[in-house]
Structure 1
Amino acid sequence: MEENDIEEVIRSCEQIIDVTDFGADPTGVIDSTVAIWHAFESAKNMTGQVVINFPYGTYQLQKATAQRREFHTSNTNSIQYPLKYIALLLEEQNQVIINGNKSLFMIHGDCMALAVVRSKNIYLHNFSWDFADPTTIEMTVNDIGEINGEQYTDFYVPACFTFSVDKNEKDVTWYSAINPSNGEYYWTDKNHKDAWTLVAYHPDRNLTRRYSLNLGPFSEERTKVIKQSDKIIRIFYGARRPFLHKQGLVFEFCSTPRRETAGAFIWESSDTSIYKVNVHYMHAFGWLTQMSHNVTYIDCTFKTRKESERFTSSYADLIHVSGASGHIHIEGCTFNHAHDDPINVHGTFTRVEEKIDDYTLRLAYIQSQQGGFPQYYVGNHVVFYRRDTLTTGSDEGEKYEVVAVTHPGQHGNDLRSMTVTFDKPIPDELLEKSNNEPLFVAENITFTPSVLIKNNHFETISTRGILCTTRKKVVIEHNTFKHMAMDSIYLSNDSEFWYESGPITDITIQSNTFFVAKVGNAQWRNAAIRIDPITMGNNIPPYTNTIHKNIKIKDNDFYIEEESVLVAKSVDGLSFTNNNIYSYRPEVNPLLPETIVGEEIKEEKHVKTFELIGCQNVKIVNNEFEENYNTSLSFSKMPMGNIKENVIKNRVSRLIH
C-alpha cells in the first residue's frame, strides 16, 4: 500500500478507535500507557480494517505500566533477560492502522518502545518516539584547563541525564527517571556503564568512531571528580589528561555487554508497514524483525530531536532483520548517529550437534546473543553448509523439509537447542568434526528475504552502513553514505563468530554515492564496499567454488579520502562497471573547535583501490578515475586471468600478487 493509499484508507475507514476515549492524554500530563493498551485491545472486537487514532499531542509512557511478556530476541542478551517491558504492544491483531497524526510518545524507563507480535496487515503511520531518560550517556568537552599543575576537563551534560558524584570523588552515578509506582529509579549506572568501548563524535568533521575507554572522561588517570552544576562535571587527571579531550568533542557510552531487549520488535508477523515514523532513540538494540514475513519502512527517520541536545539515536543497531521471508523494503529513510549498524539483514546458522535418529538432528544456537526463540517451523526448507568453507557438502545443497520440530526451551531442550525432524534421511557427513568442533551448520532458507534498499541517507555512523546476506535478490540503489567509520556496505556470511548466515546469489549495488573519510589509524577497515565471508579457521574455498556469486556494482560515485573502493573475497561473477572514483577532501567546519581524530600511536595504512581474494569471473571495466587518482589492484588465491580489465579507462597503475 502506498502512502496516499494509507491516508485514503484512514479517511474512509468506518471503524475508528480514538485513544482519548480510553483515557489517553495528548497533553502529556498523565501516563497513557494502560489507556493505549486498552484501545489497542478493543480493536480485536472489530472485523475488517480498523484505524486507531491518536489526536496530535505528546503521550507519556511508563515502563512501570507497560505490558510484560517473556520474549526472546535475537542479537541481545535475552537468555539472561527474558522478561520484556513493551510500551506499545500490538499482539495478535489484524488489519490495524496506528495513525499518529505526528504525535510524540515520550517513554520513561529502559524498555522496548514498540512491538508487533503474531499480527497481520499492520500499518504504523506518522508518529515519533523518544526517551525521557536515554540509556546512552553523552558528555561534551566544554573546556579544558589546569589548576596548580592539575589538568582538568569540564564536561557538559544534557538535562536528560541525572547524576551525582560519589563520596570517593572519583566516580559518577547516573540515574534514570523515577518509577512512579514505587518511587525508585528504573536504572542506575556508574561512570561509562561497564562499556567495552566508547564512541566519540567530532562535530567539526561530522564523524563518529569508537575509542578505547581510557581516552574518555573516566580514564584511569582521573584523580578527582567535582559536580560544578547540574550540567557540568569537572574531572582532574593530574598531569595526564587524555589527549583526545578537545573542546566540542562529544563522548557517548552505553552498557555494551548488556543488551536486555530489542529497541522495537516485529515477531511472527506478516505484512508490517512503517510509514513516516521518527525514532529519536532506541534502548539496548535496534528495531528487530524476527521470523516474520514482508516488512516495509518508508520515509522514516532515525535521528535525535534537536531540542534534546543529544546526538545518539540508538544504543546499537537501527533496522535489524534476523530471519524474514517475503520481501524487505526500506526506502526514503534517514539513518544518523547510531552506535551500531543502521541496516543488517541476515539469516541465522544453527550448528549440527547430534543425530537423534536417521531423520532427526539436534541443532543449537552458538553465538552468545542467540537463543530462546524458534528458528524452524514445519514446512520450512533447510540447507547445510561446511563451516570451514561455507560451501555445501556432498549433498550439493539439497533442500530438507522440516516435518517436526521441538523449539528451544520445549520438552527438555535448553534455550539454545532444538530438535528438528526432516523429510529424508540425514547424511552421516553432517556429524563430522574439525578440531573437535562440529563442522556443519544449518540455514533455514525459507526465512531468507528479497531486499530493496533505496533512496536512503546514512550519515555519521561509528560502524558499517549496510550489512546484507541473503540468497534472494537484493538491490541497493540511490543511497548516500557519508562518513561511516567502518565499511559503508559490508557483505559477510559468518559461520565462526556471529553465525549470521546468507550466501549471496544476486545483488546489485547501483547509483549510490559514497563519501569515505579517514577515521584516524583505526584497527578496522572502512572500505566503501567490502565482501568478507568468515569461516571456521578463516579459510576460503578454491576460487572455482566460491561462497558468493553474482555481485554487480555499477554507476556509483565514490569519494575516497583514504581506503579501498572495493575489497572482495570468494566471489564468482563480480562486476565493477561504469563507476566514478574521486579523491575526497572532507570539509572541516571552521566555526567549530578543531578536534583530533584517531588514536595517539599512528600506523601507516597500506591499502589498494581494489583488493581481490579467491575470486573468479571478475570484471573491472569502464570506470572513470579523477585525474591523478593513485589506483592500484592486488589479488591473491586466484590467477590474474580471473580478472578482466579495461586498462584504457581504468588506468590501474600496478598489479600486485
Structure 2
Amino acid sequence: MKLLKIVVILFLSVVYTSNAQKINVADYGIEPGKDVTLEVNQLIESLKGKKDVTLFFPKGQYEFYPENAIEMYRAVTNHDNSLKRLAIPIFNFENFTLDGNGSTFMFHGKICPITVKGSTNTVLKNFTIDWEHSFVNEMKVIENNVEENSFVAEINSGKFDFRVENNQILFQHYDWEDVIGQNIAFDPKTKAPIWQTRNYALNGKGKAKVVKLDNVKAKFTNITKVTPPVGTVFATYGPSPGGNRFAQAIHLDQSKDNFIENVTVFAAGGMGVIAERCENITLNKFIVTSRSDRNFATRADATHFLGCKGLIKVENCLLEHMMDDGINVHGAYIKVEKYLGEKTFLCEISHKQQWGLVFAEPGDKIMLTSRETVLPIYETTVTKAKILNEKRVLITVSDVPAKMPTGPLSFENITWNPDLIMRNNTIRDNRARAALITTKGNVLIENNFFSSQMHGILIEGDNKAWYESGGVRDITIINNTFDNIGYGSGEHYPLFAAPLFLPNQHIGAEKYHHNITFSNNKIKSYNGLLVHAFNVIGLKVEGNEVELSTKYPTGSKLPTVSLDYCENVSIQKNEFRNFSWPLKVEKSENSTSIVVKKNKGLSKK
C-alpha cells in the first residue's frame, strides 16, 4: 500500500510538471534597458486561459512607461479611484508565478506596477519595484533663521526641477506637478522622523513666502510652525485626498492564495501592498525601504489589508521609511442610509477612499451595528447585493430584527475577518504607527521589532472617521521589542487599544475589544509608557521588561498604564528599570476586576 501511494504521488508530480509552463520573456523580445510595457501586456494577454504558468525575467533592469500601458478605471481601497495605467495586470489566472530572478522593474510616471485580480495561487517573487523619480519631494535644510522663521533648502539635491509661481513651490514630476501637501520633518542621522516632528508641520497662520534662489535651492519663510534645524530633511508628498495615493506598487483584489516573497519596494505613489477581499496572503522577506540616494520609500502604508479572510501571514519582512503605517488589517463599516422594507437596506460606502469596495456578497454574514456606540445589534446573512454605483449598494438579508433599531446604523461584514500571524519582522523609522490591528480573527504578533513615530500597535476601530471595523476577539502580542515608541509627540504607547469615539458617540453596555494579551515584550522607553486601554474586556499585561532609554528627552505626565471602561484586567510581573519619576497605573471608576500586583517600579494610583 505504501509503494502504491509513492507511485501515485510520482505520477501526479509528472502530470503536474508536464502541464506547467515556464515562459522566458526574452523569447518574446522583452529585454532589459528599454520600455517593455506593451510587450509584457501583450504576453500576459496571450496567456489567458492557461494554468500553471511561470513568467520568468532574466536578471536585469526593465523599464515601464505609462504611454503603452493598458488603461482602466480602478477602485483601489484606501487610494484615489481613477483611470489607471497597469504595467503587469494578472487577471483571472490560476497558478500564475511572476519570477523576476533578482531583476529591477523601473517605473516612470503614474503607472501601477502589479495588479492581481480574480486569481488563485499567485506567486510574486524575486524582484524590486522602483520609480526613476520618487513620489516624495525631499528638501534638505542647509540654512535657517529662527527669528524670522525661515530656512534655505536644497530641493532633491538638484536631481529634479521645481519652480515657484504665485508664492507657491511646484515640484515637477513625470507629467504633473506637486504642491506642498502632507509633509513631515525627517532626521537623516537617525533615519527616522525628527523628535516631535509635529512642530515642523505647515504653519497655516500668517503669510508664507517662497523664493527660488537658483536651480537647486529655495528659501521658505513662515512655512512651518517651528523653524526646522539645519540638516533636517523636510519631505512633502502631495495633497490629500485626491493627490498622493494614485499608484500603489502591488494591488491584490478578490484573489485567493497570494504569495509575495523576496520582493523589495523602493517607492510607490501609494502603498507597497494593498489587498482587499482576498483569502490567504503570505508575505515572506517583503521589504519596503528607501533607496540609498533617498530618505523615503512609499507615500503611504507599507502593507494594508481590508476586508480579507483566511490567514494573513507576514514573516521576515523589513518595513521602513514609509509615509504611513507598517501594516493595517481591518474591515469596513458602511452606513445604512435607509431601510426600504422587504429585508432590503440602502447602504453607502462610508469613506471616500473605500468607494468601490466589494463590501458583501450572498452568503456573507453581516452585523447590524450602532453608529453611536460602535457595538453590534443583530447578525444576519446577505441574500443579495446590488451595486448601484461605487458609493451605494442595496443589501438584502435573510432576516431582520422584529423591531428595527432606532438611531444611526451601519453594517459590518463578519465573514471577512482574517487571522493574522506577524513573526520576525522589523517595522521602524516611519511616519505614523508600526501596526494597526482590528480584525475579529485570531492574531499572533511575535518576535518583531517595532520603532515608530506614533503608537507601536494601535488596536482601534471607528464608525465615524475612517470607518475601519473589527473589534478584536483574540490577540496575542508576545516576545517583541519596542524601541522608543512615539517620538513624534512623546505621548504615544507601545500598545494603545481603544475605539475612536467622536463627541456625538458614547460607550454602550458591552465592551468593544476582547481578549488582548501583551506579555514578555522588551521595551526601551524614554517616557515610561506601556499600555493605554479603553473599552476592553480581558486584558493581560504581564512579564514585560521596560528599560529607560536616553535617546530622546525623558519623562512624561501620562500614566504608564491607563485603563478606562475596562474589565478583567491583569497587570502583573512587569519590571521597570532606571526610571527617575513615578510610574503609575491609572484606572477610571467604571473599570472593574483589575488586578495589579508583583510589578517592579510601578505603583498604583
TM (normalized to structure 1)? 0.83
Task: State the match for 1:387 in structure 2.
Answer: 371
Q: How does 1:10-409 map to 2 (within 5 A)?
A: 14-26=20-32, 28=33, 30-47=34-51, 49-78=52-81, 81=82, 83-144=83-144, 153-158=152-157, 160-166=159-165, 170-177=167-174, 186-190=175-179, 192=180, 195=181, 197-208=182-193, 210-211=197-198, 220-222=207-209, 224-227=211-214, 229=215, 232-235=216-219, 237=221, 243-257=226-240, 258=243, 259-306=245-292, 309-393=293-377, 395=378, 398=379, 400-409=380-389
Give the Cα separation in 2 of the matches to 1:452 and 1:150: 47
How far the C-alpha of 1:486 sits from its partner, in A, is 0.6
Please tell me the residue identity of whatever aligns with 2:327.
I
Q: 1:60 to 1:215 in 2, by over 3 A?
A: same
| Partner deviation per Cα, 1:22-66 (whole Å, 9 max, x = no partner) | 22121x1x211111122223333534x221100000000012222
Identical-pair percentage: 26
| Partner deviation per Cα, 1:195-215 (whole Å, 9 max, x = no partner) | 1x4111112344316546765
2:50·2:93 contact (CA, 8 Å) conserved in 1? no
Give the Cα separation in 1 of the matches to 2:200 and 2:188: 20
Task: State the match for 1:473 in structure 2.
Answer: 442
| Partner deviation per Cα, 1:131-167 (whole Å, 9 max, x = no partner) | 1122211111234589xx997514252455332344x
SS at match of 1:615: strand
Please tell me the residue identity of whatever aligns with 1:402.
V
Please tell me the residue identity of whatever aligns with 2:588.
S
SS at match of 2:63: strand
Which of these residues, 525, 539, 555, is aligned with residue 520 of structure 2? 555
Give the Cα separation in 2 of the matches to 1:532 and 1:447: 22
SS at match of 1:497: coil
Give the Cα separation in 2 of the matches to 1:256 and 1:10: 50
| Partner deviation per Cα, 1:497-518 (whole Å, 9 max, x = no partner) | 1110001110000000001256
Task: State the match for 2:9 in structure 1.
Answer: none
1:118·1:269 contact (CA, 8 Å) conserved in 2? yes
Give the Cα separation in 2 of the matches to 1:17 and 1:213: 51
Task: State the match for 2:602 in structure 1.
Answer: 652
SS at match of 2:86: strand
Q: 1:117 to 1:151 in 2, by over 3 A?
A: closer
SS at match of 1:63: coil
Please tell me the residue identity of whatever aligns with 1:528.
P
Q: Which has the higher contact order (CA 8 A, sep 6+)?
A: 1
Give the Cα separation in 1 of the matches to 2:498 and 2:138: 33
1:142·1:156 contact (CA, 8 Å) conserved in 2? no
1:569 aligns with 2:534: yes
Structure 1 segments (4+ residues) deviating >6 Å: 9-13, 216-219
SS at match of 2:282: strand
Please tell me the residue identity of whatever aligns with 2:193.
T
How far the C-alpha of 1:222 sits from its partner, in A, is 2.9
Give the Cα separation in 2 of the matches to 1:470 and 1:531: 13
Give the Cα separation in 2 of the matches to 1:459 and 1:11: 42
Deviating more after overlay: 494-503 vs 64-73: 64-73
* Larger proportion of strand: 2
Q: 1:187 to 1:219 in 2, by over 3 A?
A: farther
| Partner deviation per Cα, 1:265-294 (whole Å, 9 max, x = no partner) | 111111110001000011134421011111
1:624 aligns with 2:575: yes
1:373·1:407 contact (CA, 8 Å) conserved in 2? no
Please tell me the residue identity of whatever aligns with 2:278.
S
Deviating more after overlay: 495-504 vs 244-253: 244-253
Please tell me the residue identity of whatever aligns with 1:208.
P
1:301·1:335 contact (CA, 8 Å) conserved in 2? yes
Give the Cα separation in 2 of the matches to 1:642 and 1:131: 54
Please tell me the residue identity of whatever aligns with 2:572.
V
| Partner deviation per Cα, 1:470-502 (whole Å, 9 max, x = no partner) | 1110111111012x1110100011111111000
Please tell me the residue identity of whatever aligns with 1:361.
F
CA root-mean-square deviation: 2.9
| Partner deviation per Cα, 1:563-614 (whole Å, 9 max, x = no partner) | 6210001111100111111111228xxxxxxxxx9xxxxxx95201100010
1:533 aligns with 2:499: yes
Deviating more after overlay: 65-74 vs 326-335: 65-74
SS at match of 2:48: helix
2:164·2:211 contact (CA, 8 Å) conserved in 1? no
Give the Cα separation in 1 of the matches to 2:549 and 2:384: 56
Give the Cα separation in 1 of the matches to 2:220 and 2:49: 62
1:215·1:244 contact (CA, 8 Å) conserved in 2? no
